[in-house]
Chains A and B, each alone.
Chain A
Amino acid sequence: MHPETLKQVMKFHLRNFNLQQLAVTDDTVHNAILSNNDGMGGASSQQIYRSLIHWTLLQKDCDSVQWPVDWMSWSVDLLAEKLVGYGH
């Protein structure tokens, strides 16, 4: 998968999680919109978002790269490059 494609997918989901109506761009940092303190029973916006992205990566056989530990502080641009940029 091309990083630009993954960026579009990330921004699609971030806009649907976006309670504060922030502008979502390639530079948006994930923790500006997501939290691990909302939701219920271990299903926060952080975990749900990650699983939705992971689902798409699995469909395209692009799930081999481990997510950075501090990915919530990464921008859309950087995280997409990290997850599917190498070897592209």
Chain B
Amino acid sequence: MAIKFLLPVWLLCFGLTASAQRTDSLYISGSADTSVAVTAPLFRDSMLAGRSWLVLLNARLNVTMGLQSGAPAMTETRLGGLFMKFRVTEVAGVPVPDSRRAMLLVPFGLVIESVDGYRTLNVLAEAGCRYGGPGSGGFRLPPRAGTFLAEGLLQAGYKAVGETATDTTWLPSQVLGRVKGSVVYQHPAIVSITTTFSMGVKAGANFWYNLPNQAFYHQWYGALQLRLDGGKVWQVWYAQGSGAPLFSPQPQWGLGMELSR
């Protein structure tokens, strides 16, 4: 019983400590259904580089703590990155990745998911393809119309702890397999008061097709974001569905803020 409460608290403290040491952003969000979510980096983002490619490496811890019975409680630890293949051009006589043209973007990662104080523990590897998004060139919405990003992922893994699917049809019950699709639209400044004070929107949806029990899950969300001087973001958000690994269909809304940078 104690682990149910102590582990998320430890993870939260670890996340706060890690963030303070690395001075990257820490994001905290509270929801009206009495859960608190914290997203923190676990180590400084790193990069590998080649002749016409680079790999961004990062690790994120996302903890959602349910503060009362029935509220979602889950963690997601993601060690991952983004492989970027680009054309090289020259600017002022030096080689430069051509951010005007479409890049090949391949997200990948190792994901550890837990639910309800580690009564369920999933370990997954994922890889896929991404299109659009900031600085990736290629398709763009008209000027001042925001940015659009789409991603498809295959996730495969193993349920290390917890109940296995009872209605699995063609895979061993402890095998996890999902196809995930995501779309995100974002406009950073629908209303701009100054160059560093603006109001924007972010909206998106995630879809999962769970292979073992051939079930379909979805989540959609929207947020009103206030960018303050210094780049800090406050947001009011609404989400229908909790997403993986709980796949709770309940609506949630809350307030999020960036604590440090």
Q: Does B32 contact A (CB under 8 A)?
A: no
| A31 with B231: CB separation less than 8 A | yes
Partner of B231, one of A4, A35, A56: A35
Given contacts A13-B135, A45-B134, are A52 and B97 in contact (CB under 8 A)? yes
Q: Which residues of A contact B54 (CB under 8 A)?
A: 51-52, 55
Closest chain-B Cβ to A81's Cβ sits at a distance in Å of: 16
Residue among B23, B56, B94, B233 with the highest chain A CB neighbour number at 10 A: B94
Q: Which residue of A lies closest to B235 (CB)?
A: A37
Given contacts A17-B134, A20-B188, are A35 and B60 in contact (CB under 8 A)? no
Interface residues on B, range: 35 or more
Q: Which residues of A contact B100 (CB under 8 A)?
A: 16
Residues 12-62 (chain B) with a chain A CB within 8 angstroms: 23-25, 41, 45, 47, 49, 54, 56, 58, 60
Given contacts A29-B195, A41-B109, A42-B56, are A21 and B95 in contact (CB under 8 A)? no
| A40 with B135: CB separation less than 8 A | no
Q: Mark B88-111, 1 if CB is under 8 A from A, else 0.
A: 000111111101100001010100
Given contacts A12-B96, A48-B136, are A37 and B258 in contact (CB under 8 A)? yes
Task: State in angstroms the CA–CA spacing of A50 and B103 once bound together.
Answer: 16
| A20 with B192: CB separation less than 8 A | yes
Total A-B pairs in contact (CB under 8 Å)? 140
| A9 with B92: CB separation less than 8 A | yes
Segment touching A, from B142-150, B157-165, B240-248: B142-150
Residues 3-53 (chain A) with a chain B CB within 8 angstroms: 4-5, 8-9, 12-13, 16-17, 19-22, 29, 31-32, 34-45, 47-49, 51-52
Q: Which residue of B lies closest to A12 (CB)?
A: B91
Measured CB to CB, the residues of B under 8 A from A are 23-25, 41, 45, 47, 49, 54, 56, 58, 60, 78, 80-82, 84, 91-97, 99-100, 105, 107, 109, 130, 133-137, 143-144, 146-147, 149, 151, 182, 184, 186-189, 192, 195-196, 202, 225, 227, 230-231, 233, 258, 261
